[in-house]
Amino acid sequence: MPSGSRKPQNGYRRGGKTAYHGPRKAKTFTPKNGNEATSADEKREAVALANSIDEAQGFVRYDSGKKRVGWLVNISATSIEDDKIPEGRAGLDCYFIGEDGNTFKATLEYDPYFLVAVKRGHEPEAEEWLKRAPGGGVVKSLRKVEKEDLQMPNHLLGYRRTFFELSFANVGDLLAARRDIMPIAEKNKKNMNAMDTYAEVARYVEFSTCAN
């Protein structure tokens, strides 16, 4: 070692005084979703509070009786209690002004859903995975539908492709499944080049010709 040079001390880098304690580990931060953090009990309390406010304002829920006619003035998402579903079923509160001038509201239950496109020839394995995997098995129902895909070339010719319609009991379950499906869907979309797309259309045209 040349004279005058000094060996770096333990815990210091050459050329600086920054302490070195080994390679730093990358930190991973997971954003918290407010809807996820809210417990089922808190949601039920929020729905109960909203109902009490509606009743105080004159919008009592109309559940049964004679048919009523009214003008729809507002809508609001809500949750319908269900002993088998902690977060309840998805619903829509519809606010009306009746023909007699009195106000009321009616709750419409619905199943939120989204569509998943499937490459032709891979429907069986895709259906099996979609039934059990996304969101920990929260899919309420699944059915195969044929719809026009406006993102495909020559879609004006009426090209139709296979989709799976996934329905859920509430929006929370839908979002849980969507988080599992989206990364896979985006990856498959990137791997699908133009030739694959045109081949998909060609198979459809061939199938339609044979069917006719």
Give domain limits for the chain. Answer: 34-109, 113-211
Residue 114, Cβ density class (10 Å: 0-12 exposed, 13-18 middle, ≥19 buried): middle
More confident of the two residues 54 and 155: 54
More confident of the two residues 195 and 109: 109
Rounded to 5 degrees, what are φ and ψ at 115?
-110, 145
Which range among 10-24, 34-48, 142-156, 172-186 has the greatest average pLDDT?
Answer: 172-186
* Average per-residue pLDDT for the chain: 75
DSSP 39: -
pLDDT of residue 91: 95
Q: What is the pLDDT of residues 126-168, one digit of tens each?
A: 888 888 877 778 899 999 988 877 666 655 566 777 889 999 9
pLDDT of residue 25: 39
pLDDT of residue 95: 97
- Whether the pLDDT of residue 80 is over 50: the answer is yes
